Amino acid sequence: NAGVTQTPKFRVLKTGQSMTLLCAQDMNHEYMYWYRQDPGMGLRLIHYSVGEGTTAKGEVPDGYNVSRLKKQNFLLGLESAAPSQTSVYFCASSSTGASEKLFFGSGTQLSVL
Amino acid sequence: QKEVEQDPGPLSVPEGAIVSLNCTYSNSAFQYFMWYRQYSRKGPELLMYTYSSGNKEDGRFTAQVDKSSKYISLFIRDSQPSDSATYLCAMSANTGRRALTFGSGTRLQVQP
């Protein structure tokens, strides 16, 4: 009964390093999302995907790239990490989009020094 | 100005109190309104879902939407320490492509 699984749970990077966050869902959902959560800012959408092979920009896409090569996986990449990308990252999925229930992962705490 | 405004709190109440959490919004196209609950170090989970205006009740929780005032509320009756969490309002203009717009969250602490 996994739902949405995010790896890693914690990561510390130095400025300029790169990394990939992995999100996997086992509910056969079409829609997947990457959010970041910062104090006082709520959840802000980075990128989203409406199906395998498709991605779209959200509210704060700069500095991030994504890929959805397989329906169950949604990857978030940071090519050159900056301290402003220190945040908690959440992946979510849903069956038919924004009007339906989102299922969230447990988050990745990322610190960029 | 943010599309969705939510008082960050923290809000501290005694066990058994009635809690009122609120959000205001500016986009008149929003039709779907949700409340998510987020425990510390966890992902948000859907608590209540309402389409358009009106009330919806589920156990101790009642969600209200007033589209004319662009104002939504979540009421918690007989609050319990286990209700201590951050409550996020969220809303969407249409089905399909777009994702939700979230409020910044209100932190609630229910004292035993």
Condensed to tens digits (0 to 9), the pLDDT of residues B22-81 reads: 999 998 888 889 999 999 989 999 999 988 888 999 999 999 999 999 999 999 999 999
Of A33, A98, A101, the CB nearest to B46: A101
- Asked if residue B103 lies in contact with residue B90, where contact means CB atoms within 8 angstroms, the answer is yes
Q: What proportion of chain A, given as a percentage, has pLDDT over 70?
A: 96
Is residue B107's pLDDT more than 80? yes
CA within 13 Å, CB half, A26? 5
DSSP H or E run through B14: strand B11-14
A chain contacts of residue B35, beta-carbon cutoff 8 Å:
none
Query: In this structure, which amino acid lies at residue B78?
Result: D
How close A11 gets to chain B, by Cα (Å)? 15
Query: In this structure, which amino acid lies at residue B14?
Result: P
Peptide bond into A61 cis (omega under 30): no
Answer whether A61 touches B (CB < 8 Å). no
Q: Is B43 in contact with A107 (Cβ distance < 8 A)?
A: yes
Distances from the Cα of A99 to the Cα of B1, B29, B37, B90, B103, angstroms: 24, 13, 17, 10, 16
How close A32 gets to chain B, by Cα (Å)? 9
Is residue A99's pLDDT more than 80? no
Calculate the dihedral angle through the C-alpha atoms of A111, A2, B96, A96, rounding to the nearest 10 degrees.
180
Q: Is A40 in contact with B104 (Cβ distance < 8 A)?
A: yes
- Asked if residue A49 lies in contact with residue A55, where contact means CB atoms within 8 angstroms, the answer is yes
To probe the interface with B, which of A6, A25, A36, A43 has the most B CB atoms within 10 Å? Answer: A43
CA–CA dist A29, B45 (Å, integer): 16
Is residue A98's pLDDT more than 70? no
Q: What is the pLDDT of residue A96?
A: 74
For residue A73, what are its two tokens?
Answer: 């996986």
How close A50 gets to chain B, by Cα (Å)? 7
Is residue B98's pLDDT more than 70? no
Give chain A's mean pLDDT.
93
